[in-house]
Amino acid sequence: MVQETAQVEAQDWAEWECRAELLALEWEHLQLLRDQNAIQVWVVVAMDDDCCTLDTILVMAVLCVPVTGVSQT
């Protein structure tokens, strides 16, 4: 009886250790997802900003094209 109780306690302890490790891994996974989300937001904002910059440069390039450079077909 004492041996069975000790065995059950050892199994319970091992199960709790596994649960604690799983919880730590889940927490780390959530942290990585938050970091990934922050990076994705930063990339989208950077792309939006660059898109506006590229649009401005394109407009300026088109406006600076001399009339003689335009094909007259």
Domain assignment present for 67: no
5-13 mean pLDDT: 91
Q: How far is CA 56 from CA 45, 53, 67, in A?
A: 17, 5, 20
Give CA angle at 62 (59, 68), nearest 5°.
165
- Indicate the number of domains in the chain: 1
User: What is the residue range of 10's domain?
Assistant: 2-62
List, for residues 26-37, the tens digit of each pLDDT value: 999 999 889 888
Domain assignment present for 71: no
Domain assignment present for 69: no
Domain assignment present for 72: no
pTM given for the model:
0.54
